């Protein structure tokens, strides 16, 4: 049978090493390694215990494969626009460093952010705002419910001709509320603003169409929904960043750097497109094969089917939790809630940290973020995990 995005997925728990009795509904904090990713790490360690026979091209081939796989995942037709980075803060720092080169940049312009964004998407702009005399506009989360449509509308209204940069995610990292990036990207282009997207909490589990969104930068850590290792991520940098200024001057980012016998010859030219933005020691001999294995698996599963699995898995929970006084943002297309990461607003009398600790004591792992519980299921979760979540919350919130 040929698998399509409409073919439902069954549980893939058998492909992970999570113990029975552990209810890990917390991929938004960190994904567990699949057995295949774990094996890829072991194989890489064993291989490099004896580096005899290592060729210069071996320093580059793994990243080349990963660029291609990630490009397939986000519908990018040019893998040379993908850089290997260590973190989101690194990728956002590239954007900040090159903002002064943006055509039409002027003092007094604004950087537009959404409320309560992840710190790496906020701290990046402090220095550049001082240097260029820019200001930051934060679009607050609306009071009342539902929040998604109004938050999206407020964000679109905040993007105006005095906007230099918009920073927005596909879905909020705490609340799971989606942002209509196609509409946001169109508005940014209309006013001449750059769009930088932090895809860490969505890419791999929520479909993303780079060709439709047309961001100037898309930045992803690898250890969450890409199911890969920590300290390794990927970033797309569009034409706005061609001929830009990198954060570091790695020898590996230069043309013909695979010709080790000529490394003493000065090479002023960088590799094509986003190559100048690669982190040093891009090869990552141990971690790169792990990320390659994870991306290969994600392409087989397909993000749309992961969304559908999460939706069906969690569907019985929401009415039961709403009966306890909790609130879940409704589904409203690209301006409603996601299904892989859902913010559960607790009753006003409940302390989210105390609730999280009560769940942890019963081997149920979710995250408390601000006033919500962040529930983040994946294909390794099964109905028993959802039952445990509802059971513990019923006990805690009923007292």
Q: Is residue 7 part of a domain?
A: no
Q: What are phi and psi of 286, to 5 degrees?
A: -90, -45
**End residue of a domain, out of 273, 298, 323:** 298
| Shared domain check, 214 and 191 | yes
Nearest to 16 by CA among 387, 385, 342, 378: 378
Q: Is residue 66 part of a domain?
A: yes
42, two tokens: 């072991």
Q: How many whole angstroms separate alpha carbon 71 and alpha carbon 4? A: 19
Q: Is residue 44 part of a domain?
A: no
User: Who contacts 344 (Cβ-Cβ below 8 Å, separation ≥6)?
Assistant: 321, 326, 327, 328, 372, 373, 374, 375
How many CB atoms within 10 Å of residue 70? 28
**End residue of a domain, out of 258, 282, 298:** 298
pLDDT mean over 100-119: 97
**Contact assessment for residue 89 and residue 120, using Cβ atoms and an 8 Å cutoff:** yes
**End residue of a domain, out of 237, 268, 298:** 298
Quote the pLDDT of residue 399. 79
Domain count, the chain: 2
Quote the pLDDT of residue 2. 37
| Shared domain check, 100 and 128 | yes
Q: Is residue 43 part of a domain?
A: no
By CB neighbour count within 10 A (0-12 exposed, 13-18 middle, 19+ buried), where does 157 fall? exposed
| Shared domain check, 170 and 63 | yes
Higher pLDDT, 339 or 7: 339
Cα–Cα distance list, 381 to 16, 310, 364 (Å): 10, 9, 11
| Shared domain check, 130 and 66 | yes
pTM of the model: 0.96
Quote the pLDDT of residue 39. 98
Residue 3 has pLDDT above 70, yes or no: no
pLDDT tier at 343, thresholds 50, 70, 90 = very high
Q: How many whole angstroms separate alpha carbon 268 and alpha carbon 254? A: 7
**Contact assessment for residue 397 and residue 33, using Cβ atoms and an 8 Å cutoff:** no
Instruction: Please say whether the dihedral angle defined by the alpha carbons of residues 269, 285, 378 and 395, taken in this order, is positive or negative.
Output: negative
| Shared domain check, 250 and 116 | yes
| Shared domain check, 310 and 292 | no
The runs of H, that is alpha helices, within the chain are 35-48, 58-74, 88-98, 126-132, 148-158, 181-191, 210-213, 287-301, 303-314, 317-322, 352-361, 383-398
Range with lowest mean pLDDT among 77-86, 227-236, 251-260, 315-324: 251-260
| Shared domain check, 353 and 213 | no
CATH of the domain at 381: 3.90.1150.10
| Shared domain check, 186 and 73 | yes
Quote the pLDDT of residue 5. 59
Residue 166 has pLDDT above 90, yes or no: yes
Q: Is residue 92 part of a domain?
A: yes
pLDDT tier at 6, thresholds 50, 70, 90 = confident
Q: What are phi and psi of 16, to 5 degrees?
A: -125, 165
How many CB atoms within 10 Å of residue 325? 14
Residue 206 has pLDDT above 70, yes or no: yes
Q: What are phi and psi of 308, to 5 degrees?
A: -65, -40
* Predicted confidence (pLDDT) per residue in 144-163, tens digit: 999 999 999 999 999 999 99
Q: Is residue 2 part of a domain?
A: no
| Shared domain check, 356 and 318 | yes
Buried b (16+ CB within 10 A) or exposed e, 256-271: ebeeeeeeeeeeeebb
81, two tokens: 């626009």
CATH of the domain at 97: 3.40.640.10
Quote the pLDDT of residue 371. 84
Q: How many whole angstroms separate alpha carbon 34 and alpha carbon 36? A: 5
Nearest to 335 by CA among 129, 130, 159, 114: 114
Q: How many whole angstroms separate alpha carbon 345 and alpha carbon 372? A: 5
Cα–Cα distance list, 294 to 7, 220, 389 (Å): 20, 14, 27
Q: Is residue 17 part of a domain?
A: yes
pLDDT mean over 240-269: 93
Residue 322 has pLDDT above 80, yes or no: yes
CA 138 from centre of chain:
20
| Shared domain check, 357 and 245 | no
Q: Is residue 266 part of a domain?
A: yes
| Shared domain check, 273 and 316 | no
| Shared domain check, 317 and 266 | no
Domain region containing 307 = 13-34+301-398
pLDDT tier at 101, thresholds 50, 70, 90 = very high
């Amino acid at each position: 049978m040929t698998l399509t995005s409409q073919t439902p997925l069954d549980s893939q728990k058998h492909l992970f090493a999570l113990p029975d009795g552990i209810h890990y509904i917390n991929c938004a904090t960190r994904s567990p390694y699949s057995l295949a990713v774990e094996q890829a790490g072991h194989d890489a360690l064993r291989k490099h215990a004896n580096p005899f026979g290592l060729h210069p091209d071996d320093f580059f081939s793994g990243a080349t494969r990963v660029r291609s796989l990630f490009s397939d995942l986000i519908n990018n037709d040019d893998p040379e626009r993908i850089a290997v980075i260590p973190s989101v803060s690194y990728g956002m720092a590239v954007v900040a460093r090159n903002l002064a080169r943006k055509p039409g940049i002027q003092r007094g312009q604004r950087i537009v952010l959404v409320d309560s964004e992840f710190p790496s998407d906020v701290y990046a702009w402090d220095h550049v705002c001082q240097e260029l005399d820019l200001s930051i506009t934060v679009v607050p989360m609306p009071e009342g419910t539902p929040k998604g449509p109004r938050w999206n509308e407020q964000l679109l209204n905040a993007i105006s001709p005095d906007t230099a940069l918009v920073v927005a995610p596909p879905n909020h990292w705490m609340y799971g509320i989606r942002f209509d990036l196609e509409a946001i990207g169109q508005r940014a282009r209309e006013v001449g603003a750059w769009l930088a997207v932090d895809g860490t909490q969505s890419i791999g589990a929520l479909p993303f169409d780079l060709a439709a969104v047309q961001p100037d930068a898309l930045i992803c850590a690898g250890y969450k929904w890409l199911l890969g290792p920590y300290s390794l991520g990927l970033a797309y940098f569009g034409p706005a960043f061609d001929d830009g200024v990198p954060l570091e001057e790695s020898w590996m980012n230069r043309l013909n750097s695979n010709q080790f016998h000529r490394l003493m010859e000065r090479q002023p030219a960088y590799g094509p497109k986003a190559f100048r933005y690669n982190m040093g020691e891009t090869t990552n001999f141990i971690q790169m094969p792990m990320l390659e294995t994870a991306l290969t698996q994600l392409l087989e599963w397909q993000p749309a089917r992961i969304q559908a699995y999460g939706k069906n898995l969690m569907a019985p929970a929401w009415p039961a939790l709403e009966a306890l006084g909790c609130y879940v943002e409704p589904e409203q297309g690209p301006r409603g809630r996601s299904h892989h990461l859902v913010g559960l607003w607790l009753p006003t009398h409940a302390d989210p940290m105390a609730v999280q600790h009560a769940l942890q004591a019963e081997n149920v792992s979710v995250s408390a973020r601000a006033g919500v519980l962040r529930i983040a299921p994946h294909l390794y979760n099964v109905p028993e995990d959802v039952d445990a979540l509802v059971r513990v919350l019923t006990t805690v919130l009923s007292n």
